[in-house]
Amino acid sequence: MQVLGDFSPLFRPGLRRDFRDSYQDFEPEYTSFMNVSTTGEPEMRGTYIIGLNRLQERFDGEPITYDDPKLGNISVGVVKEFAGGFMLTRRTVEEDKYGKANQGAKWLARAARLTYEYRVGAFLDDIFTGTYFKSMQDNLALIHTAHVLQGNAGGTVANRPSTDVQLSVAGITAILDLWTVLKDENGDPIKASPDTLIYGTAPGDESTALAIWNSTLEPFTADNTDNVIRRRMGKPKIIQSHYKANPKSYFLVSSQLNDAHVAVRRPVEFDDTYDFDTDVMKNKSTTVFMIVAFDWRGWSGSSPT
């Protein structure tokens, strides 16, 4: 609880009125690559269906071979509540000559927004390990070198290179090669391509990303070679993530197949009240939301060391 003594400089003349109490923030990032929605339920469930693979050859008069569609695993996401607040006495507000002590809405609004950003940043970090977020198809990390196909044909498919490569022409090429052999659960090829790049704060990665997608010729070479990556992918939406812990990881995402969600159960709410006996003002902010991802096929990436 903030009392008079904690903010005593605010009660005396002589302070610069423009002393710093905040810095400029980045524009919201997670809304650029996550599916953001509202939900009226405390949990979200997802599953998938594997249809028939192909027709079987038969001889004249031979009975048809029947096969049943398969219902996949059930994956569940559960909402979590986040809350924070502060208290200060009425006297603290009354004696403040600069109007700085009582900025509850400003401070809490920033804290709430950053809660969403950092939680999605944690999702990006976990996407390679699968500690909290797993693919509902095979219970592996969402980005993995060998996703197990659940159809009759079996086999594996990768959305992570066998060797992680830093953000570069070679790294992007290796990931794009994985998209060309993407398969459904039956092992049949599907048409898909990424249209979004997410990268971190590793030194040089921003310049590398801009050079790759803004050069007609292949960057970082002395030859007049066409920039094949631009031909294969076009110019993606480019997003720098400042909130994930791993600065070097990067992702190529298909907005068409992206199945990662931020589902808001209770939007950010602000409340304040005075305690009758102590004249203490309480300020709080709460929100309830979940982050959940189901199908791994919308994501690919690399996590170099």
Task: Return the top range by mean pLDDT from 24-28, 73-77, 90-94, 155-159.
Answer: 155-159
Q: Does any domain span residue 144?
A: yes
**Which range has the worst mean pLDDT, 93-102, 107-116, 210-219, 263-272?**
93-102
Q: Does any domain span residue 62?
A: no
Residue 259: domain span: 25-53+69-294
Q: Does any domain span residue 15?
A: no
pLDDT single digits (tens) 228-285: 888 888 889 999 999 999 999 999 999 999 999 999 999 999 988 888 888 888 888 9
Contact yes or no for 171/302 (Cβ under 8 A): yes
Q: What is the dihedral of CA 201, 203, 206, 212, to 10 degrees?
A: -130
Tokens of 39: 């939900």
pLDDT surpasses 80 at 136: yes
Q: Does any domain span residue 275?
A: yes
Sorting pLDDT into bands at 50, 70 and 90, what band is 201? very high
Q: Does any domain span residue 244?
A: yes
With a pLDDT cut of 70, the percent of the chain lying above it is 88
pLDDT, residue 102, reads: 67
CATH of the domain at 37: 3.90.1690
d(CA 191, CA 212): 24
Sorting pLDDT into bands at 50, 70 and 90, what band is 12? very low
Average pLDDT in the chain? 88
d(CA 126, CA 49): 26
pLDDT, residue 257, reads: 96
Q: Does any domain span residue 284?
A: yes
Sorting pLDDT into bands at 50, 70 and 90, what band is 17? low
- Structural domain tally of the chain? 1
pLDDT, residue 25, reads: 86
Residue of 197 and 65 predicted with greater confidence: 197
Q: Does any domain span residue 128?
A: yes
pLDDT surpasses 70 at 92: yes
pLDDT single digits (tens) 38-47: 999 999 998 8
Contact yes or no for 288/265 (Cβ under 8 A): yes
